[in-house]
């Protein structure tokens, strides 16, 4: 379809200037032609290319995007406004979002011959991972993540664009039905997509890894292959370690990038939420040899992978939301004052049960302290020493747990509002389950005072497990208590923080 001229009227929309002309579509700024106010945001119209030389995938991907955009409801994607009839004039009107794409970040760094800073890379990657996780929670896998399709708003949040190659677990996959080939952008496509498996959210994690590699080094980890043989190399090949191309890249960042780029999906981050967690908490990243080495992978390793890849059968993916629910981020709020041993024991038992039924889940142990503890001029109460002391207590509390196979991190938060600190942490780190002690106050008090557990339970964005002290533990303590020894406190759960 030829370019629309400014001033063209189409189904009640007035076309303004063309703001992008791509290989599959043209995008225009538009407004309502009858002068009525807009929907509360600026609008853009996307019109697919339909010339004689364009392939059928342009039309199919347009149908896919229209279908998926109407199903999405999230601030990390443009809002849907209207769609045109494919038989007459196909178009898609959506929210126009201002910002800069990662393509523009990369181009600016190249033009200025200046590397993007590590902090900036982590910030951009974090915004992208959070946006991808929000989409995955709605059973959509993007499958065409690349720098041109990731927009960073002025406030730093990420927006995903162009869902023409995406897959919704509850809709027919039109692209898979009509196109019997690898579908995606060659430089960013995941190994399982190369062999025709679509719908795995870890494919988007791989694409984010490619973009992080670009932001770190300015280069593509697997080049820009144009043949199927070139695409298949990523099934067994590792890229050059980023630290070899840019020595100032820290080990924790290389660990993250190369984990995203693992050929086997099971060895990558299990969800974009786990990736976002590491990017937001670099000091908690568990660095292995993967993060420190600078030499390339030996030929023998690549050869063995090639042999395995030749006979590998990729399995179809479950629903994206179901898959990420199986590997949640679990947060436990551990009290540090006015708490009985029985309560700490009961919290530990509840965490053990939660983690035991969720292989691959991540545990974040959190305690909240008052800022007054670190504001003293006393050297023994400096912020660093106080945090170390409470981090040590958290590790001691978690030591009896069997956390093999689970990533675990420890966090000391400072706040005068314990409940809000826990809620902010849960929101910011995509926590799926919060485990915390139940309130100590009676029902009459709870009617007038919003205790920490009640406030968290009322406002939390996820599942809450409130734990009360287990009676068997208390009885066991009584049996072991020496004659005449005073009984320990038996609060249900002490104040958090």
pLDDT higher than threshold 90 for residue 48: no
* Parallel, antiparallel or unpaired: strands 9-10 and 13-21: antiparallel
Closest C-alpha among 177, 195, 105 to residue 146: 105
In the predicted structure, residue 487 carries a pLDDT above the cut 50: no
Looking at residue 88, its pLDDT comes to 78
**What is the percent of the chain where pLDDT is above 90?**
55
The string of pLDDT tens digits covering residues 179-207 is 556 678 899 999 988 888 888 999 999 99
**Residues 301 and 237 sit within 8 Å (Cβ to Cβ):** no
Q: 3-class secondary structure for the chain?
A: CCCCCCCCEECCEEEEEEEEECCCEEEEEEEECCCCCCCCCCEEEEEECCCCCCCCHHHHHHHHHHHHHHHCCCCCCCCEEEECCCCCCCCEEEECCCCEEHHHHHHHHHHHCCCCCHHHHHHHHHHHHHHHHHHHCCCEECCCCCHHHEEECCCCCEEECCCCCCEECCCCCHHHHHCCCCCCCCCCCCHHHHCCCCCCHHHHHHHHHHHHHHHHHCCCCCCCCCCHHHHHHHHCCCCCCHHHHCCCCCHHHHHHHHHHCCCCHHHCCCCHHHHHHHHHCHHHCCCCHHHHCCCCCCHHHHHHHHHHHHCCCCCCCCCHHHHHHCCCEEEEECCCCCCCHHHHHHHHHHHHHHHHCCCCCEEEEEEEECHHHHCCCCHHHCHHHHHHHHHHHHHHHHCCCCCCCCCEEEEEEECCCHHHHHHHHHHHCCCCEEEEECCCCCHHHHHHCCCHHHHHHHHCCCEEEEECCCHHHHHHHHHHCCCCCCCCCCCCCCCCC
Do the Cβ atoms of 214 and 265 come closer than 8 Å? no
Could you tell me which residues are beta bridge partners of residue 201?
none
pLDDT score for 144: 94
Give the separation between CA 78 and CA 215, rounded to whole angstroms.
24
- Cβ neighbourhood burial of 418 (10 Å; 0-12, 13-18, 19+): buried
Distance CA 360, CA 328 (A): 8
Residue 96 pLDDT exceeds 80: yes
What is the C-alpha to C-alpha distance for residues 190 and 208, in angstroms, rounded to an integer?
10
Closest CA to 183 of 205, 167, 159, 169: 167
Q: Taking the CB of residue 195, how many other CB atoms lie within 10 A of it?
A: 15
Question: Exposure of 351 by Cβ count < 10 A (0-12 exposed, 13-18 middle, 19+ buried)?
Answer: buried
Q: Taking the model in full, what pTM does it have?
A: 0.87
pLDDT tens digits along 130-184: 999 999 999 999 999 999 999 999 999 999 999 999 999 888 887 776 555 667 8
Q: Mean pLDDT over all residues of the chain?
A: 85
CB 333 within 8 A of CB 434: yes
Tens digit of each residue's pLDDT (9 = 90 or more) over 106-123: 999 999 989 999 999 999
- With vertex at residue 480, the alpha carbon angle to CA 477 and CA 481, rounded to the nearest 5 degrees, is 80
Q: What would the two tokens of residue 3 be?
A: 């370019």
Residue 139's pLDDT is 94
Q: pLDDT over 70 for what percent of the chain?
A: 85
Q: What is the pLDDT of residues 226-252, one digit of tens each?
A: 888 888 888 888 899 999 999 999 999
CA distance 367 to 334: 5
Both tokens of residue 246?
A: 């840019």
Domains and CATH numbers, the chain: 9-95 (3.30.200.20), 100-323 (1.10.510.10), 328-480 (3.40.50.620)
Q: How far apart are CA 128 and CA 405, in angstroms?
A: 26
| Strand partners for 18 | 28
């Amino acid at each position: 379809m030829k370019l629309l001229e400014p001033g063209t009227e189409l189904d009640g929309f007035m076309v303004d200037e063309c703001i992008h002309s791509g290989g599959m579509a043209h995008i225009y700024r538009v407004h309502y032609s009858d002068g009525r106010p807009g929907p509360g945001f600026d609008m853009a119209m996307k019109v697919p290319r339909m010339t004689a030389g364009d392939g059928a995938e342009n039309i199919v991907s347009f149908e896919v995007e229209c279908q998926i955009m109407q199903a999405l409801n999230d601030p990390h994607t443009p809002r849907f406004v209207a769609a045109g009839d494919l038989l007459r004039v196909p178009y898609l009107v959506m929210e126009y979002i201002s910002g800069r794409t990662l393509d523009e970040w990369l181009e600016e760094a190249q033009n200025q011959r200046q590397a993007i800073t590590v902090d900036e890379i982590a910030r951009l990657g974090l915004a992208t991972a959070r946006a991808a996780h929000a989409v995955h929670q709605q059973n959509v896998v993007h499958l065409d993540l690349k720098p041109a399709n990731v927009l960073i708003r002025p406030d730093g949040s990420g927006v995903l664009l162009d869902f023409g190659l995406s897959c919704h677990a509850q809709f027919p996959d039109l692209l898979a039905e009509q196109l019997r080939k690898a579908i995606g952008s060659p430089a960013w496509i995941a190994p399982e997509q190369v062999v025709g498996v679509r719908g795995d959210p870890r494919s988007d994690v791989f694409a984010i890894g490619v973009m992080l590699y670009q932001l770190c080094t300015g280069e593509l980890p697997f080049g820009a292959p144009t043949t199927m043989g070139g695409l298949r190399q990523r099934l067994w090949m590792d890229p050059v370690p980023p630290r070899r191309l840019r020595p100032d890249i820290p080990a924790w960042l290389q660990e993250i990038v190369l984990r995203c780029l693992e050929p086997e999906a099971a060895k990558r981050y299990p969800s974009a939420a786990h990736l976002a967690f590491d990017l937001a908490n670099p000091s908690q990243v568990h660095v292995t040899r993967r993060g420190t080495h600078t030499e390339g992978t030996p030929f023998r390793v690549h050869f063995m992978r090639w042999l395995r890849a030749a006979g590998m059968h990729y399995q179809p993916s479950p629903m994206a939301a179901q898959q990420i629910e199986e590997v949640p981020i679990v947060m436990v709020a551990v009290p540090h004052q006015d708490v009985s041993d029985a309560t700490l024991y009961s919290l530990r038992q509840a965490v053990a049960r939660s983690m035991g039924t969720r292989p691959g889940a991540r545990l974040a142990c959190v305690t909240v302290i008052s800022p007054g503890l670190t504001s003293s001029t006393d050297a023994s109460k400096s912020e660093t020493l106080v945090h170390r002391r409470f981090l040590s207590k958290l590790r001691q509390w978690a030591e009896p747990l069997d956390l093999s196979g689970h990533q675990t991190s420890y966090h000391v938060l400072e706040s005068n509002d314990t409940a809000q600190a826990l809620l902010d942490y849960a929101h910011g780190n995509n926590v799926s389950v919060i485990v915390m002690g139940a309130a100590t106050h009676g029902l009459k008090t709870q009617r007038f005072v919003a205790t920490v557990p009640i406030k968290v339970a009322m406002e939390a964005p996820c599942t809450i497990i409130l734990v009360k002290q287990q009676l068997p533990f208390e009885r066991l303590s009584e049996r072991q208590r020496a004659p005449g020894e005073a009984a320990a406190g038996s609060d249900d759960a002490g104040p958090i923080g």
